[in-house]
Structure 1
Amino acid sequence: MRYPAKQKQETRARLLAAASMQFKKKGYVATTIDELMQAIGLTGGAFYAHFDSKDAIFAELIEKDLAWSRQLLGAQTAESREQWVTRVLDTYLSVAHVRNPELGCAIPALAEDVARATPKVRRAFETSLLTLHQQWTPRFGSSDLAWSVLCQLVGAIVVTRAMDSKDVIESVIQANKDQIRRVALPRSRAGKSRPERGEAP
């Protein structure tokens, strides 16, 4: 039976959304195709009408989820550097993000799975991270600082997800926020909400 193109697109979108949540919550390897299809109310065999393989859906959701992460972490036109950094820290480094991997960024949730995946998946991941890094570098004024802050954000989430105590999690999160602010917002900028005329944002 052939399904209308619109219905097939909607099913594909639902499948991608289910895969994103399941992979980030349980892990790519631990999630089966049958589980993905059950999550959207279909049988396992219907999967192959939409994707050639589990790796194929993994590569596509990496591109999709990291595009969302770039939007979340990217600076808005009207934001000063301080406003942008503060928003990113408050949004990304939070107990809610730690406790709900299925709703959060794919980088800390899936990087380990990506490292063991096919070259196609790793290329999709690398390309997305390079794009985010290129967006951050002018804002920070340093390629190295952009990488450093990105890795610290991701690392803080990875470490705190392995912890049990909320108090400890909050302490680690706050320590990383404070450290990133010290590095990303030099003291000369600390009291400014917008860059001075002629000063790099």
Structure 2
Amino acid sequence: MASKKQQTHQRILASMHQTFRQNGYDGAGVNSLANGAGVTSGAFYAHFGSKSNAFKEVVTEGVNQLDAVLTQFQETHGKDWLEQFVLFYMGEKRCSDLSESCALQSLTPEVTRSDDNTRAIFQEELLKVVATFNRGIENYGEETKHNAWATLSMMIGGVTLARAVKDPDIAEKIAEAIQGSITDKG
């Protein structure tokens, strides 16, 4: 069983995931990050040292969450994992509250504006995601093999565009176009 300190750390981390994804780095103050987890700003600093350190941990864990989801889809859906993942990502995940969005979709713009160390951490974790993705597409064969960079970029960009438009019908068309381009069924 996790200690009280570990439980508090995880509670703050969960709150930070939501706050950074919803409001961005600049829109999330230490007080709001601490209050969201029901702790004081002093407790926040005791666990993370700084807002920048906290953001790095959120980025690391957020990208790791995507890696775990890819692995889960590969194990659960076998050879159909990619099609099922794209349906999930462009459907359910696209329509989720921004605070529950994919780290790659919501945090990438924030990472772009961050320091070199944060960008290096993001890159290291992203390379793990690409490796997991590529392991899952080995069974697709060369003629249908998808490029992980292109596929992830299309999904992230597609979700970003679909979230940005006001008209739900246009958002759906964007999602369908991305799904069709990736799964060759559109």
1:177 aligns with 2:176: no
1:128 aligned residue (125, 128, 135):
125
Per the TM alignment, residue 102 of structure 1 is displaced from its structure 2 partner at its CA by 1.1
Q: Which has the larger radius of gyration?
A: 1
1:117-152 superposed Cα distances (whole Å, 9 cap, x missing partner): 122221221111101111222433579711110110
Structure 1 pair 58–48 and aligned structure 2 pair: CA distance change class (3 A): same
- Could you say which residue in structure 1 is the equivalent of 2:31? 34
Which structure's residues are more often helix, by fraction? 2
2:147 aligned residue (145, 150, 165):
145
2:67 aligned residue (41, 52, 70):
70
Q: Which amino acid aligns with 1:32?
A: G
Tell me the distance in 2 between the aligned counterparts of 1:144 and 1:167. 28
Contact 1:97–1:103 (CA under 8 A) maintained in structure 2: no
Per the TM alignment, residue 96 of structure 1 is displaced from its structure 2 partner at its CA by 5.1
Q: Which amino acid aligns with 1:41?
A: G
Number of residue pairs aligned between Structure 1 and Structure 2:
178
- Could you say which residue in structure 2 is the equivalent of 1:100? 97
Unmatched 5+ stretches in structure 1: 186-201
1:66-94 superposed Cα distances (whole Å, 9 cap, x missing partner): 1111111234346333x101211111001
Report sequence identity in percent: 26
Question: Counterpart of 1:80 in 2: which secondary structure?
Answer: helix
- Could you say which residue in structure 1 is the equivalent of 2:162? 160
Per the TM alignment, residue 95 of structure 1 is displaced from its structure 2 partner at its CA by 5.6
Asked which structure has the greater RCO (Cα within 8 Å, sep 6+), the reply is: 1
Question: Counterpart of 2:74 in 1: which secondary structure?
Answer: coil
Per the TM alignment, residue 99 of structure 1 is displaced from its structure 2 partner at its CA by 4.5
Contact 1:95–1:170 (CA under 8 A) maintained in structure 2: no
Tell me the distance in 1 between the aligned counterparts of 2:75 and 2:95. 28
2:77 aligned residue (76, 79, 86):
79
Q: CA RMSD in A?
A: 2.1
Structure 1 pair 95–165 and aligned structure 2 pair: CA distance change class (3 A): farther
Q: Which amino acid aligns with 1:61?
A: V
Question: Counterpart of 1:150 in 2: which secondary structure?
Answer: helix
Deviates most, 108-117 or 133-142:
133-142
Q: What is the TM-score with the length of structure 1 in the denominator?
A: 0.81
- Could you say which residue in structure 2 is the equivalent of 1:14? 11
- Could you say which residue in structure 2 is the equivalent of 1:47? 44
1:14-63 superposed Cα distances (whole Å, 9 cap, x missing partner): 11000000000111111100001111222222211111111111111111
Contact 1:108–1:157 (CA under 8 A) maintained in structure 2: yes
Question: Counterpart of 1:164 in 2: which secondary structure?
Answer: coil
2:114 aligned residue (109, 113, 117):
117
